[in-house]
Amino acid sequence: MPDAPPRLEPFTPRTEPAALDDLRARLRATRWPDAPEEAGWSLGTDLAYLRELVAYWADGFDWPAQEAALARLPRFRARIGGLGIHFVHARAAAPAGPVLPLVLSHGWPDSFWRYTKVIPLLTDPGAHGADPADAFDVVVPDIPGYGYSDRPTGPPLDSIAVAGLWAELMSVLGYSRFGAAGGDLGSHVTRYLGLDHPGRVVAVHRTDAGLPVFTGDPADLTPEERAWFERVAAWGAAEGAYAAMHRTKPQTAAFGLTDSPAGLAAWIVEKLRAWSDCDGDVERRFTKDEILTNVTLYWLTGTIGSSMRMYHANAAIPPAQHARRVEVPSGFSLFQGDVVRPPRAWLERTTNVVYVAEPARGGHFAPFEEPELYAEELRAFFRPYRAAAG
């Protein structure tokens, strides 16, 4: 007999009070490092800001309220590829035409959290001042090793493997054709969905092109591409220490970050500040409650180590994979506050690019920073491809 299809189990986690008591005790017992006077954020996470954030986490942050808010999303778990995968599956509300299924892939350091603000804007555009004909069925999975998905017990999965899981998940949900979108690591996953499942994916949308890998003759690059490569190298030298650790020795960092909630918050909040369009003030883009919801998800699921190990897996992807060109229609929304924004010439070299926009606000976490702008970008890009998924 054929294998039974995976069962979709509604998922509503409930955190035990003892886990929160332990978290608060650890926060209150934090052993703080010293810092040079006036260091601010110049050497990494600012000591004064983290003390303030940790004090609020211990005595002001209401995780049960945040957990209840997340529970209002239609969330499920299913066994896909031998792993329990957690995902949001929100269907279009009152659609006025063909509904396009859309799988959204997150990055690091986040989870399905990245898309929580934008989901209702995509499923019910009519309720938010947009055209009801632009409604999507939205699927937001947690990558294995992130959030509430299982942590792989064997070798970590790379972006190619995750793209295969998402294609299988969309089949389980009954979608033969669909759109795909993502940023950060989710941009890689989205790229491989387009590369390896072109018969399934009608179009792909990304907020970045990843860090460039080029195996050809550098003389073939345009001046704009060469200048971009130089900017990327400079950014890596100044900002890339975290990624080098993730790629090479993630397990070493995992001990401290899994044991110390203050250390975990420092590792994550510095990236929220550095990569967002916040002009140096992280709370211009993320409230303390929003920051701590993301960090608490990592803490309670114990996934900081497993999330970092995906960098190690991706570093082993063969160069030939990076040289492949995405031929399905590709769109890019390059938000002004993002890091290492690619030139048009690189997008044309590596993809069948049909759409490039440069929204004036928002950074690396655009779906969370600017959900309305991000939703507008997805509606505009995918509009011509709705009928193809019917």
Q: Give domain limits for the chain.
A: 20-29+42-383
Question: Is 184 one of the catalytic residues?
Answer: yes
Alpha helix positions (H), the chain: 17-28, 47-59, 63-70, 119-123, 159-172, 185-196, 223-239, 241-248, 250-259, 261-275, 288-301, 304-315, 319-322, 344-350, 366-369, 371-382
Question: Is 364 one of the catalytic residues?
Answer: yes
Mean pLDDT in residue range 202-229? 94
Look at residue 3 in the predicted model and tell me its pLDDT.
Answer: 66
Amino acid at position 275, single letter: W
Look at residue 89 in the predicted model and tell me its pLDDT.
Answer: 98
Mean pLDDT in residue range 144-154? 96
Q: Say yes or no to pLDDT of 2 above 60.
A: no
Which DSSP helix (H) or strand (E) runs through 330? Answer: strand 326-333
Mean pLDDT in residue range 241-265? 97
52: its two tokens: 């303030």
Q: Which of 3-17, 113-127, 268-282 comes out lowest in average pLDDT?
A: 3-17
Strand partners, 326: 351
Look at residue 1 in the predicted model and tell me its pLDDT.
Answer: 44
Cβ 309 vs Cβ 179: under 8 Å: no
Predicted model pTM = 0.97
Cβ 222 vs Cβ 345: under 8 Å: yes
Question: How do strand 100-105 and strand 136-141 relate by DSSP bridges?
Answer: parallel
Please report which confidence band the pLDDT of residue 388 belongs to, taking 50, 70 and 90 as the band edges.
confident
Give ∠ CA 66-189-71 in degrees, rounded to 5. 20
Look at residue 210 in the predicted model and tell me its pLDDT.
Answer: 93
Mean pLDDT in residue range 238-259? 97
Pick the catalytic residue: 134, 150, 158, 184? 184
The end-to-end CA distance of the chain, in Å, is 31
Pick the catalytic residue: 49, 192, 311, 374? 311
CA distances from 390 to 128, 141, 177, 197, 226 (A): 24, 22, 8, 17, 42
Question: Is 148 one of the catalytic residues?
Answer: no
How confident is the prediction for the chain on average, in pLDDT? 96
CA distances from 355 to 50, 180, 263, 339, 380 (A): 40, 14, 40, 20, 9
Pick the catalytic residue: 246, 298, 364, 374? 364
CATH classification (class only), 20-29+42-383: alpha beta
Q: Say yes or no to pLDDT of 356 above 80.
A: yes
Mean pLDDT in residue range 105-132? 97
Q: How far apart are CA 227 and CA 232, in angstroms?
A: 9
Look at residue 95 in the predicted model and tell me its pLDDT.
Answer: 85
